[in-house]
Chain A
Amino acid sequence: MATDPSEYELVRTFASLPRTTRGLPAAITASPKGDKLFYCNGHSVYIVDVNNLNDVDIYSEHPTLTTVAKMSPSGYYCASGDQQGNIRIWDTTQKTHILKGTYPIIAGPIRDISWSDDSKRIAAVGEGKDRFGHVFLFDTGTSNGNLSGQSRPMSSIDFRPTRPYRLVSGSEDNTVALFEGPPFKFKTTFHEHTRFVHVVKYNPDGSMFASAGADGKVILFEGSDGVKQGELVDEACKGAAHTGGVFGLSWSPCGNKIATSSGDKTVKIWNVGARSLERTITFGTAVEDQQLAIIWSSTALVSVALSGYLNFIDPELGQVSKSVHGHNKPITSMAVSKDKSFFCTADFEGNITRWNLATGESKRLSPLLHKAQITGMSITSSGSLLSVGWDDTLQFSDNISANIDSIRPASTKLSSQPLGLAASADGSVAFAGCLKAIAIFNGGKHTADHTVNFPVTCIAYSEQKKLVAVGGQDSKVHVYQFNNAALLEKKVLTHSAPIVSLAFSDGGEFLAATDGARKVVPYDVEKDFAVASDKEWTFHSGRVTCVAWAPGARYLATGSIDTNVIVWDLQKSGEHPIIFKGHFSCINQIAWLDASNLITAGQDSVIKHWKIKTA
């Protein structure tokens, strides 16, 4: 049923951020050439080009949450682990990502993966039940040793990159273990740390390895037999390297420096030879500023914060050169500015990010406007943002096209939970569709509440026709005439399932309604809301979650939980529409930029920009 690929084209992808968990190291890795970053969120592995962050490849074959992905030193394969302890090895050179093999390793989440230098062996560790790690040959899955010897989950593993091979692992029993092989056998453990060991890493020539843990210490060991060679100590941190736990550690490509990232919200760059601190990069003071992972590739030094932000650091200047502020939680709301220069997306936790369409640059609005899920947003012609969220407020934030570091919104409490927002272009008239009433805002003031006797699900407003359409859980679309003060019921349109989304075309000529029974129905407003399509539009195979009219009121785009995007043509309403798979999960939001450019946002926290071949 898929449409000819020439009818649509993916212009760019705004990738999700890595998933993070407080108190656990995050996983970010780089390709051997250093040009790609690998990280995980949801069921996917993201491969992002360091030099063009919108060049993104997504691998989504894992049946459960992914945890860590690592590319082989040869550059051909990637091994990715998941929450159920499986490892999938797949080809990275082609877009289809042919599966090489999948192996069950442990009965629990995989925490870290390491490839041997010859790309033949893989060691993986995590929170298993009967064992915490395994080392095997990548092409056959044959065991290549035994990684028992530590009594609690192992959180990090690394191969010595030169012969004779060694494996070092860090564990939650506070020890670092050394294994000799192949086949790998336990040699000894080192009790240098007093708390969980989060990360162990060999330097590029295998002459040393470093371990770091929750006690804030960074310890250096000799590479082949593990004699302790020293410690990295910051005088200001009472004999440790950081005042908080060290979650990430990465050697510089030259092997002379180490970068560490910590729960004390700093990244530190150390000179290994002199055992001295060179740079300290301090992030904010919020919990979200804890730095949970770091990777130093030949092209970039990138640290991952608890908020998921990717911070690109210039190691020479010791400064953050750029940050990526996307989302790592499902995107629930989206609004495009009237001049189409930027758009805002909001996630399940209430974070709002502003994206520049031309450059792809992203910036988070701060402080947090709603401390709960945002259900509706609208950007006015003057660049103000209207938003409603599950904290039961409507907020006006002025001029969000400029500096958004200290937003001071005007907040209005609503009488019940808002589920949708519709506003005029200049924002002077706004309607918040709440569970029990429609709150009417005139000139920024809450002027009236129109009580309804059905649970509201969504709302749309046509400024030209002064019509408000409200979708309900009662499977009806209620259309009201707005007389600048109150709403007067004009028409009721009945569907067979609860209404999910509504949209008026720009001039108000048409109203589109989608429902839970897979239907998309365009209504002709002028002809007393007669159905405007020749045939029934039932091409989606699940709930149709979002709908948008292109300028000109001819094309209509819909997104659904079936992961497909459909572009319908009202002038050829009996013909097969353009159908394509938009995301790897439910599509939550859709918007047109112009007559042929479309953006979609999904449950997978990804935003995609498409070019549709329209007439």
Chain B
Amino acid sequence: MLRCRLSTSGVLVNPDVQSTFMKLSEGKKEFRYIIFKIEDREVVVESAVTQEDLGISGDDYEDSSKAAFEKFVADLKARTDGYSDCRYAVFDFKFTCSRVGAGASKMDKIVFLQLCPDGASIKKKMVYASSASAIKASLGTGKILQFQVSDESEMSHKELLSKLTEKYADN
């Protein structure tokens, strides 16, 4: 009963997925975002981008990662050939939000995006949807936020930021 909850697509998760993710989530937090794809029935790292690679000079907390996120979305768009393919991605979202009694506080949250655009083939969407639990389980979903997005509007910076502030504003 518990078992059918998980991926049954037979897609494996490459060990690099977990070790690259650790470089984003722990220690020096080397990476800002990572894009994963399914290749030859295996989830692999497609690209891992550092703060330097992004080349952003401004403070991430001030603009709530807007500049970095725009670059991430542009990269994702280019890699999926204008949203005609699916991807998984994790993004280290740095933002400022005001909390009752605590004033403005700087926050740092990792978001997991499952991108399944309408333009992608049905087969691809099926494979990505059925393998999502496998990659999420191996990343350890306890501390990350998950979003499923299917078009550019859902991936807008404002949309995500409002979801995050909604979640963290009052606790």
Contact = CB atoms under 8 A, between A and B. Distances in A.
Interface of A: 108, 127, 130-132, 146, 148-153, 172-175, 177, 185-189, 191
B2 A151 contact: no
Nearest to B7: A151
A187 B12 contact: no
Q: Which residue among B7, B18, B22 has the maximum number of chain A CB atoms within 10 Å of its CB? A: B18
B74 interface: no
Contacts of A108: 2
B139 A148 contact: yes
B2 A127 contact: yes
Contacts of A127: 2
Contacts of A187: 15, 19
B11 to A, nearest CB: 9
Given A186-B19, A189-B15, A149 B2 contact: no
B162 interface: no
Interface in B1-59: 2-3, 6-7, 12-13, 15, 18-19, 22, 26
A106 to B, nearest CB: 10
Contact of B138 (A130, A149, A153, A172): A149
Interface string B120-138: 0000000000000111011
State the majority secondary structure of interface residues on B: helix
Interface in B65-95: none
A173 B134 contact: yes
Q: Which residue among B7, B15, B26, B141 has the maximum number of chain A CB atoms within 10 Å of its CB? A: B15
Q: Which residue among B7, B139, B140 has the maximum number of chain A CB atoms within 10 Å of its CB? A: B140
Given A108-B2, A186-B19, A188-B19, A130 B134 contact: no
B101 interface: no
B103 interface: no
Contacts of A175: 12
A108 to B, nearest CB: 7
Contacts of B138: 148-151, 173
A172 B3 contact: yes
29 contacts: A108-B2, A127-B2, A130-B140, A130-B142, A131-B140, A148-B18, A148-B138, A148-B140, A149-B18, A149-B138, A149-B140, A150-B137, A151-B6, A151-B134, A151-B135, A151-B137, A151-B138, A152-B6, A152-B7, A153-B3, A172-B3, A173-B138, A177-B15, A186-B18, A187-B15, A188-B15, A188-B19, A189-B15, A191-B12
Contacts of B142: 130-131
A173 B18 contact: no
B15 A149 contact: yes
A152 B15 contact: no
Interface of B: 2-3, 6-7, 12-13, 15, 18-19, 22, 26, 133-135, 137-142
Contact of A173 (B13, B19, B26, B140): B13
A104 to B, nearest CB: 13
B45 to A, nearest CB: 14
A177 B12 CA distance: 13
Given A127-B2, A185-B26, A186-B15, 14 more contacts: A108-B2, A130-B142, A132-B137, A148-B137, A151-B134, A151-B137, A152-B6, A152-B134, A172-B3, A173-B12, A173-B13, A177-B15, A186-B19, A188-B15
A151 B140 contact: no
A185 B137 contact: no
A615 to B, nearest CB: 57
Given A173-B12, A188-B15, A189-B15, A153 B2 contact: yes
A146 B142 CA distance: 11
A195 to B, nearest CB: 12
Contacts of A185: 22, 26
Contact of A151 (B19, B22, B26, B133): B133
Contacts of B26: 185
A191 B12 CA distance: 9
A151 to B, nearest CB: 4
Nearest to A150: B138
A108 B138 CA distance: 17
Contacts of B7: 151-152
A17 B128 CA distance: 45
Nearest to A174: B12
Nearest to A178: B15
B140 A146 contact: yes
A186 B7 CA distance: 21
A151 B139 CA distance: 8
Contacts of B2: 108, 127, 153
A144 to B, nearest CB: 14
B139 to A, nearest CB: 6
B141 A130 contact: yes
A186 B22 contact: yes
A127 B141 CA distance: 14
Q: Which residue among A130, A187, A189 has the maximum number of chain B CB atoms within 10 Å of its CB? A: A189
A542 B116 CA distance: 60
A154 to B, nearest CB: 10
Contacts of B3: 152-153, 172
A150 B137 CA distance: 7
Nearest to B138: A151
Interface pairs A-B: 4 shortest CB-CB? A148-B140, A151-B134, A149-B18, A151-B138
A226 to B, nearest CB: 11
B15 A151 contact: no
Contacts of A131: 140, 142
B131 to A, nearest CB: 9
Contacts of B22: 185-186
Nearest to A175: B12
B137 A152 contact: yes
Nearest to B141: A130
Contacts of A173: 12-13, 134, 138
Contacts of B134: 151-152, 173
Contact of B13 (A130, A151, A153, A172): A151
A187 to B, nearest CB: 7
